[in-house]
Amino acid sequence: MTRRRLGLLVAETAAWQLVLSALWIVLVSRVDPLEVYVGLGCALPAAIAAVAARRVVSTR
């Protein structure tokens, strides 16, 4: 894996995590620091799964 490809992979994962975390914050009733940390923690595996699914579909 080249540096450019790795950078794009990290950037795409970060973008997904940002979008999913923002969705989490919008959907919770009150925003405490703990809610933000939980949202970030839940968004990371989901972002990795989204990137992996996109890569599988795009290689066909």
pLDDT (tens digit, 9 = 90+) per residue, 5-59? 999 999 999 999 999 999 998 998 888 899 889 889 999 999 999 999 999 998 7
The phi, psi pair for 41, rounded to 5°, reads -65, -35
pLDDT at 11: 96
| Residue 52 to residue 45: CA distance in whole angstroms | 10
1, pLDDT greater than 90: no
pLDDT at 60: 65
- 8: Cβ contacts below 8 Å, ≥ 6 apart: none
Supply the pTM of this predicted model.
0.82
pLDDT at 35: 87
Rg, C-alpha atoms of the chain:
14
Residue 38 buriedness (CB in 10 A; 0-12 / 13-18 / 19+)? middle
